[in-house]
Amino acid sequence: MTTLTVNGIETTLDVPPRTHLADALRETLGLTGTHLGCEHGVCGACTVELDGSPARACIAFAAACAGAVVRTIEGFEYDSVMAELRAAFTAHHALQCGYCTPGMLITARDIVLRIPGADEARVRRELAGNLCRCTGYQGIVDAILAVLAARRG
C-alpha cells in the first residue's frame, strides 16, 4: 500500500512493487493523460510533476512514491500558467497528433516558471528530454517563447 497525493487528492495505491508510476496513474487511477512512449526514460511522454518538478513517471516505481505530491496533466485543468501555454500551443500549432503534448506542457510550464529569461537556445536545450515526432519542435519552441515574452510584459 502506497499513499500519495495525486492532483490534490490523497490516494492509496495497492499495486505490485514492479508497477511504475505511469502505469499506476493510467491503469489504477484512470488518468490516461499521462502517456507512454518508451518506458526507458528517454522520450518524456510520461512527464508528470513530482514534488514540484517534472519527472518521468515511467522510471519511478509507484511504491517508491509514498508521501509524494504528483500532478498529471489532468491536475492542471485550472492552472493559469497552463492556460497560457495551452492558448500559445494552439496559436503556434505546437501539436499535431497530441501524443507528446501532456508531457511537453508539463516541461514547458516548468521552463516558464523556472527560467523566465530563457531564450530560444535555452528553451531548446531544456526540451531535450521531450521528444516530438510530428511538429519538428518549432511551434513548441515558439509557443513557449511567446508565453515567456508575455509574462515578461
State the nearest-atom distance from the C-beta of 78 to ligand FES, in Å.
24
Contact 28, 39 (CB under 8 A): no
State the nearest-atom distance from the C-beta of 152 to ligand FES, in Å.
27
Residues 111-150 touching ligand FES, rule: CB under 6 A, are 132-135
**In the 8-state DSSP scheme, what is residue 29?**
T
Q: How many positions of this chain bind another protein (CB under 8 A)?
A: 54
CA distance 94 to 19: 32
Among 114, 120, 150, 151, binds another protein (CB under 8 A): 120
What's CA 6's distance to the chain center, in Å?
14
Cell of 21: 508510476
Asked if 100 is part of the footprint of ligand FES (rule: CB under 6 A), the reply reads yes
Among 11, 28, 42, 68, binds another protein (CB under 8 A): 42
Q: Which residues contact 143 (CB under 8 A, 6 or more apart)?
A: 85, 88, 89, 91, 92, 94, 108
CA distance 79 to 84: 9
Residues 26-85 touching ligand FES, rule: CB under 6 A, are 36-39, 41-46, 56, 58
**26: partner contacted, choices another protein, ligand FES, none (Cβ within 5-8 A by kind):** another protein
Select 55 or 146, whichever has its Cβ closest to ligand FES: 55
